[in-house]
Structure 1
Amino acid sequence: MIKATRALMLATFLSGAMTAGFLAAPASAEETQRREATIMVSGEGKASVAPDMALISLSVVQEAATAAEALAANSKAMAEVLADLKSQGIAEKDMQTSDFSIQPKYRQETSSGNGYEAPEIVGYSVQNGLTVRVRDLGALGGLIDRAVKLGVNQGGNIVFTNDNSDATVEEARKQAVADAAAKAKTLTEAAGVKLGRVIEISEAFARPMPELMAAPMAKMAAADAVPIASGENRYTVTVNITYAIEQ
């Protein structure tokens, strides 16, 4: 009696499972049939603007027989550079120490035999780096010239940027959307279908980086200043848009 009951329960369970499976299949097929036809395109927009700010790296490197002597000489030179930058209107918030190091200098003697000669410390080198944000690009050349005369002997890397690039990026973003829409229109017309609503839109880069372009002329503070060409910054935005295709 117990075995017969168990067999009946098992048969009922299998029958229910098979029925549920057969009932689920039409729903899946129906969902596939209702899936909306779409087209996805990418668009790119570019906008340029003249930079209004520059980041420049300046370093003072001093060498001496002892670390203390090298540090003292370096500190004296860097203090003069900082004071001069302040006198030219550079705010303290726009100056930041970016690299500082004390390194021994070694000399390796050539061994006359097969033995190993350990390197000998013959002096020390102290480097103090400074990153300066220059908001007056017309003064940049003269600033570099004065800094070199006061002891800066390394660095000089310049990156031109914009204090606020929101308006330029917005223009590039609009161009990217227009470019994507034009591509979608061309593709659907060629395929003989009608372009529908926008389903999804995304931006590839939230904050595009500026791209340096060639400058038509140099900006100089004075005739004897370092010639500096600021050029333009180009901001690029890429968008991906998914459109529905009307049936």
Structure 2
Amino acid sequence: MKTLVRAGALALLLATAAAAPAALAQTQPAGAASMFNATTLNLSAYGETRVAPDKATINLGVVTEAPTAAGALSANAEQMNSVIAALRKAGIAEKDIQTSGLNLSPQYDYVQNEPPKLRGYQASNQVTVTVNDLAKLGAAVDATVKAGANQVNGISFGLKDPSSAENAARLDAVKALSAKAALYAQATGHRISRLVSLSEGGGYNPQPPVPMMAYARMDKAESGGTTIAGGELSVRIDVTGLYEMTR
């Protein structure tokens, strides 16, 4: 009797295992097989918009030296206070002025075959300034230099709201992708049946600061002020599309 029960259980197990592949095949998504059997076209394209910047970021600072650390810091603070006051007077809001670096270091004189001799201390204070009105940019730079800023390390231009430029680039990217797909379909004797998937990359990336003189043309205008050319920014969107084609 036990032998019969065991034989029946074994037969049931074998029947279940045999039925499993069929069950899996029935639960497979209906569109999966048809997609792999279809002729597909995978393409990439991009759209690019050039737009004038509407804000700028400047990194500037004050470097001072004195025989003592306290003297170097005191002189630096006094000079930086004058610089910040000049920025505010030029129309830069307090929230757009941010300290980005503060350093104090000893300074040595080196003579061959002699130990280093302490000359004094150097204090450095750096601020990052956002200018939301580019018409004030040249005046702000001039004001800070006159007030005591002796370092202008870099400038970058940007957009307050890049969404319009990104959307324009998206439209150009999709148009370019569609045109490319139509060309490939015509060349291979097919027609585009449908767009299966669409993915996006790229977009607006804030420009990294670059040296002032290397980036912008700085001239002396008739008024004696500094003119800084902002030029244009490039906003690029990359798209990738998968198309299904039919004869």
Q: Shorter-normalised TM-score: what interval?
A: 0.7 to 0.9
Q: 2:135 aligns with which of 133, 138, 153?
A: 138
Aligned equivalents of 1:100 and 1:140: distance in 2?
A: 24
The runs of 5 or more residues in structure 2 that have no matched partner are none
**Mean Cα deviation higher: 200-209 or 102-111:** 102-111
Aligned equivalents of 2:123 and 2:208: distance in 1?
A: 34
SS in 2 for 1:142: helix
- 2:145 maps to 1:148: yes
Q: Answer whether contact 1:141 1:220 (CA < 8 A) is retained.
A: no
Query: Relative to structure 1, is the Cα distance of residues 120 and 18 closer, same or farther in structure 2, using a 3 angstrom cutoff?
Result: farther
Please name the residue that 2:18 is paired with. 18
Aligned equivalents of 1:201 and 1:80: distance in 2?
A: 54
Aligned equivalents of 2:103 and 2:215: distance in 1?
A: 36
Q: CA deviation at 1:34?
A: 2.1
Q: 2:186 aligns with which of 183, 186, 189?
A: 189
Query: Relative to structure 1, is the Cα distance of residues 218 and 177 closer, same or farther in structure 2, using a 3 angstrom cutoff?
Result: farther
SS in 2 for 1:79: helix
TM-score normalised by L of structure 2: 0.82
Please name the residue that 2:5 is paired with. 5
Give the RMSD, CA atoms, in angstroms: 3.2
Cα deviations by residue, 1:15-34 (Å, 9 ceiling, x for unpaired): 33124335656876986642
Aligned residue runs from structure 1 range 28-67, under 5 A: 33-35=33-35, 36-67=38-69
Aligned equivalents of 1:242 and 1:194: distance in 2?
A: 14
AA of the residue aligned to 1:139: K
Aligned equivalents of 2:3 and 2:110: distance in 1?
A: 93
AA of the residue aligned to 1:81: V
Q: CA deviation at 1:131?
A: 1.1
Query: Relative to structure 1, is the Cα distance of residues 90 and 27 closer, same or farther in structure 2, using a 3 angstrom cutoff?
Result: closer
Aligned residue runs from structure 1 range 70-219, under 5 A: 70-106=72-108, 121-209=118-206
Aligned equivalents of 2:208 and 2:123: distance in 1?
A: 34
AA of the residue aligned to 2:238: T
Q: Answer whether contact 1:65 1:123 (CA < 8 A) is retained.
A: yes
Q: CA deviation at 1:244?
A: 2.4
The runs of 5 or more residues in structure 1 that have no matched partner are 113-117
Query: Relative to structure 1, is the Cα distance of residues 217 and 61 closer, same or farther in structure 2, using a 3 angstrom cutoff?
Result: closer
Query: Relative to structure 1, is the Cα distance of residues 242 and 93 closer, same or farther in structure 2, using a 3 angstrom cutoff?
Result: same
Percent identity at matched positions?
Answer: 35
Aligned equivalents of 2:75 and 2:29: distance in 1?
A: 81
SS in 2 for 1:51: coil
**Mean Cα deviation higher: 49-58 or 199-208:** 199-208
Cα deviations by residue, 1:160-183 (Å, 9 ceiling, x for unpaired): 112223222211111011011111
Please name the residue that 1:240 is paired with. 240
Cα deviations by residue, 1:91-130 (Å, 9 ceiling, x for unpaired): 1122111111222334567657xxxxx8665422211111
Aligned residues: 241
Query: Relative to structure 1, is the Cα distance of residues 194 and 29 closer, same or farther in structure 2, using a 3 angstrom cutoff?
Result: same
Q: Answer whether contact 1:139 1:220 (CA < 8 A) is retained.
A: no
**Mean Cα deviation higher: 88-97 or 177-186:** 88-97
Q: Answer whether contact 2:72 2:122 (CA < 8 A) is retained.
A: yes
Q: Answer whether contact 1:45 1:173 (CA < 8 A) is retained.
A: yes
Cα deviations by residue, 1:29-62 (Å, 9 ceiling, x for unpaired): 9866422543222121111111121111111111
Query: Relative to structure 1, is the Cα distance of residues 207 and 141 closer, same or farther in structure 2, using a 3 angstrom cutoff?
Result: closer
AA of the residue aligned to 1:189: Q
